[in-house]
A and B are shown apart, each in its own frame.
Chain A
Amino acid sequence: MVAAIEIRGLAKRYGALQALAGVDLEIPRGEFFGLLGPNGAGKTTLISILAGLARADSGSARVLGHDVVADYRAARRLLGVVPQELVFDPFFTVRETLAIQSGYYGLRANGAWIDEVMHHLDLTSKADANMRTLSGGMKRRVLIAQALVHRPPVIVLDEPTAGVDVELRQGLWEFVRRLNRDGHTVVLTTHYIEEAETLCDRIAMLKAGRIVALDATAELIRRFHALYLRVRLEGAVPDRLARRAVAAEAGRHTFRLDEYAEVETALAELRAAGARILEMELVQPDLEEVFVQIMRGAGPPDAERRAHH
């Protein structure tokens, strides 16, 4: 089956900045995919090329098999993009905005679907309000509605929850999840890594224009065997264990262990040093931890190898 998104050797330079340095990526249909990376890693550039807002220097990108340059009309019809910037046209109401957006895609009588999208995004009461009068969160919802007017099978959301309050964020994810359940492929970039962890089937991490990690979310976390032992102590920490400390303050210590077997050794060393344990906790790595490690370039060897193949 043809992939929802297929990217081959994509490179893009802005002056001195190598925004993308050869990216290969394939996203199958129906997937909920996350694109993570620090600011300037190339996430938005990648999305812009996919959407036709930017031109690649080399390489190619396809949406459901349609090249985004050579066959741009078909590619754009299949793609819905929610841009990162909170942009709007101050001349129009919400309903006008959505009707006009439908028209650009060649859809004339799209009222029923527009009503449905507005309903799901809680915009119905604002349908006839001018865009200027809406709050930031409402404008964000209209942006999402605009990306959906032509029922695109592939949806790309670039930082959709930046600056959005918690309540709206929850509602929004519920809606995007439902779209994904209905068969839409969803590609998401976000700064909230815990969002990516709970939502995404698979994740790519970008750094300086390259993919440095790409795997199923659970797999990515599992490959980091690191385990954290957090204790509150009375007494001194023996030297050997102190070398494993990643944080220490006022009797609270965190040690990085490689496997569960080391827990026993660590406790034995503490006992031998005469330290008394007041509180203890074992912490599994989460995606945020994995992200930080990978961005520092400290990923496990297999992760590095896989990412560069």
Chain B
Amino acid sequence: MQNAGRTTEVAAPPRTASAWTGFATLLYKELLRFWKVGFQTVAAPVLTSLLYLLIFGHVLEGRVQVYDRLSYTAFLVPGLVMMSMLQNAFANSSSSLIQSKVTGNLVFVLLTPLSHVEFFGAYVVAALVRGLAVGAGVLAVTLPFASVPVEHPFWAAGFALGGCAILGTMGLLAGIWAEKFDQLAAFQGFVIMPLTFLAGVFYSIHSLPPFWERVSRLNPFFYMIDGFRYGFFGVSDVDPLASLAIVGVFLAGLAAITLGLLKTGYRLRH
């Protein structure tokens, strides 16, 4: 073969490759993706939450008393922060994956040596960052409208991280499963929205009739919001430790399913 003499020159690809770089790059790409359009991915949801606070706060202030010595607007703030974090964490991983699938550029990731664990990690961490960025934005714009105490910041942070990780994972699952944008929209409309709205963002489940209170306890989103609220008010419907355990178990279960699907290449590698 005429090339034989030079083959060795290219036989060894660069050895400078680092194990972390692959993961870090995919994470960076996922972060850049939403940051480049931050006006719609961060600013818009912050504005939406502010509108919720102003409208619901205005209408219901003085009519609804959830906890003693706490105005309804103040009660609403942590719920809105958590709701926007959850929705945006879900939106980030799900829309990124479905866009890459539909446009076909997911192939650039699938061709590389990245493992299913790195893939999972990068998408979920990016979703987490987007969720937290939106949450911080919502908190910043809503705080001037109510005096909200922060009793246990670490509890709040723990539930924020857990909740965003769960929704980031659910977004990844939905993105893997969906093959078209409207399937994803259906998932968002029929699963994510009902679960968040019925999780007690706008009310305490103690104000519900007993039957609906029991139903609410089946909703894992309820524990995220209730636990997060405990971080602010030091009061909650459920013991925060129990909520944290439920959030942890739910996250572990979802992560295991998602990692399993990614490993087999379900709907990604044909």
Contact = CB atoms under 8 A, between A and B. Distances in A.
Interface of A: 14, 28-31, 48, 51-55, 64, 72-74, 76-79, 81, 83, 85, 87-92, 96, 100-110, 146, 150-153, 180-184
Given A51-B111, A107-B17, A184 B265 contact: no
Contact of B1 (A28, A51, A101, A105): A28
B95 to A, nearest CB: 12
A7 B108 CA distance: 23
Interface in B9-29: 9-14, 16-19, 21-22, 24-26, 28-29
Interface stretch (B99-107, B132-140, B141-149, B205-213): B99-107
Contact of A104 (B4, B8, B19, B114): B114
A74 B15 CA distance: 12
Chain B CB within 10 Å, residue with most, of A73, A81, A180: A73
B107 A87 contact: yes
B115 interface: yes
A165 to B, nearest CB: 22
Interface in B215-270: 265, 269-270
Chain A CB within 10 Å, residue with most, of B10, B16, B26, B265: B10
A83 B18 CA distance: 26
B113 A182 contact: no
A79 B11 CA distance: 11
B154 to A, nearest CB: 34
Given A52-B110, A109-B16, 20 more contacts: A30-B4, A31-B1, A52-B111, A53-B110, A54-B269, A74-B113, A77-B13, A85-B104, A88-B105, A89-B100, A96-B32, A101-B112, A103-B29, A104-B25, A104-B109, A106-B21, A150-B14, A151-B13, A153-B10, A182-B9
A64 B8 CA distance: 12
Question: How would you classify the secondary structure of chain A's contact residues: helix, strand, loop or mixed?
Answer: loop
Contact of A182 (B6, B12, B37): B6
Contacts, number: 134
Contact of B21 (A48, A52, A107): A107
Given A53-B107, A81-B111, A87-B107, A30 B7 contact: yes
A73 B28 contact: no
B10 A151 contact: yes
Contact of B8 (A79, A110, A183): A183
Nearest to A201: B1
8 contacts: A83-B104, A87-B107, A89-B105, A100-B28, A106-B113, A150-B14, A182-B9, A183-B9
B119 to A, nearest CB: 10
B15 to A, nearest CB: 10
A73 B119 CA distance: 13
B33 interface: yes
Contacts of A85: 104, 107
B36 interface: yes
Interface of B: 1-4, 6-14, 16-19, 21-22, 24-26, 28-29, 32-33, 36-37, 100, 103-105, 107-115, 265, 269-270
Contacts of A146: 108
B38 to A, nearest CB: 12
B112 A104 contact: yes
A306 to B, nearest CB: 21
A14 B270 CA distance: 9
A105 to B, nearest CB: 6
Contacts of B33: 91
Contacts of B25: 100, 102-104
Contacts of A74: 113
Nearest to B29: A100
A63 B29 CA distance: 28
Contacts of B105: 87-89
Contacts of B103: 87-90
A78 to B, nearest CB: 7
A170 B215 CA distance: 68
Contact of A108 (B18, B100, B104): B18
A101 B105 CA distance: 12
A70 B109 CA distance: 18
Contact of A183 (B10, B16, B28): B10
B269 to A, nearest CB: 6
